[in-house]
Amino acid sequence: MPSALRFVTLLLAMTGTVLWSGLTNRVIAQTNAPQPLLLQADGILQADDETLGDGSFYDVHEFTGQANQLVTLLLESEAFDAYLILEDDQGNHLATNNNISSDNTNAALVFALPATGHYRVIVNARHANRQGPYSLLIQSTPADQPNPLLSPVEVTLQEAKQRIQAGIMHHQRSEYQVALVQWEEALALFRSDTLQNILPQDSHQGESNSLNNLGLVYYSLGQYSRAIDFYQQSLDIDQENGFQQSEANSLDNLGSAYYSLGQYSRAIDFYQQSLDIDQELEDRQGEAISLGNLGNVYRDTGEYSRAIDAHQQSLENDQELEARQSEDKK
């Protein structure tokens, strides 16, 4: 049974003071060629709205765009942690964003539309049962002109995040070389002087995430030693910056690489370190993954009682998560 690996899908906000989140604080860049506003909507997430699987409320808005048109979506709210989902007219997810940056809990996307047609925007509160007013703007923003909704560094950050998401999509399709290019480009953007100087926390977190995902590509290609090198680089950044969730991911993926090399004692050590962090963070999903991976190692080393115990604990965590999700929906 293969080990469960941990993708890094989104850059989540780190704990700290929100420095730029109000609707009135938007900085509008000046441009001599104003671009069309595709949608402007003010709304309220409220108790009678539809909910996603995690119990969080959402509204749906639609707009029409042209093939290859670069658009910027900006969702602002002082009432909740904003989350954006962009879909095509068939309901296929194209892109998502949680936070503009580590100190900005609004959400934004800079995205090139793949085809002419209708698009759906899902306005969502990241956490269950959160309600309140919001403002949504969607504007055409050609790459050769200043973005009127985001600062240059924010545009660079969103571009890097989009490459992370695109890489995951290609990896899930087993298009590993394409995923590799996307994550290498993301890594270069996160390492840029602009991001490092203005948004150092986002730069370091994004660098770690990119390295971790590059490790996943080489793991999928069976190049376990090379995967270990990238996972270790990611782990070093996590430990230097106190990114505990990312550290747990890197440790667990290191365990999986050593497991695939048949180095079971090292795999157990990394899985256990990951589990310890998951338990400290009360991350039940992470615990379930680490426990399941430990169970696989114990099974392969003939320690069947320990394997049963680890898998039983993993199962209990999964059941607890399902119960919580069901409760959130009520």
For residue 87, what is the enclosing H or E element? strand 82-88
CA angle 166, 167, 171 (to 5 degrees): 120
- In order, the DSSP letters of 68-86 are T-EEEEEEE-SSS-EEEEE
Beta strands in 160-275 (DSSP E): none
Which pLDDT score, from 0 to 100, does residue 68 have? Answer: 96
The Cα 124–Cα 107 span in angstroms is 10
Task: Kindly give, in sequence order, each residue whose CB lies less than 8 Å from that of residue 98, ignoring residues fewer than 6 positions away.
Answer: 10, 11, 12, 13, 81, 82, 83, 107, 126
The Cα 133–Cα 15 span in angstroms is 23
Report, as an integer, the average pLDDT of 8-34: 33
* Per-residue pLDDT at 325 exceeds 80: no
* Per-residue pLDDT at 91 exceeds 60: yes
In tens, the pLDDT along 285-306 reads 999 999 999 999 999 999 999 9
Banded pLDDT at 33 (limits 50, 70, 90): low
pTM: 0.83
CATH label, 35-150, candidates 2.60.40.10, 2.60.120.380, 3.40.50.1470, 3.30.710.10: 2.60.120.380
By C-alpha distance, which of 324, 327, 259, 258 is closest to 298?
259
Instruction: Please give the DSSP secondary-structure letter assigned to residue 302.
Output: T
Banded pLDDT at 319 (limits 50, 70, 90): confident
* Per-residue pLDDT at 254 exceeds 90: yes
The Cα 257–Cα 249 span in angstroms is 12
The mean-pLDDT minimum among 6-20, 109-123, 269-283 falls in 6-20
* Per-residue pLDDT at 321 exceeds 90: no
For residue 44, what is the enclosing H or E element? strand 37-45
The Cα 186–Cα 182 span in angstroms is 6
List the domain boundaries for the chain.
35-150, 153-329
Helices (H) and strands (E) in the chain, counts: 9, 9
Q: Give, in words, the CATH class of 153-329.
A: mainly alpha
Q: What percent of the chain has pLDDT over 70?
A: 88
* Per-residue pLDDT at 213 exceeds 70: yes
In tens, the pLDDT along 114-157 reads 999 999 999 999 988 899 999 999 999 998 999 999 999 999 99
* Per-residue pLDDT at 199 exceeds 70: yes
* Per-residue pLDDT at 16 exceeds 60: no
Q: What percent of the chain has pLDDT over 90?
A: 82
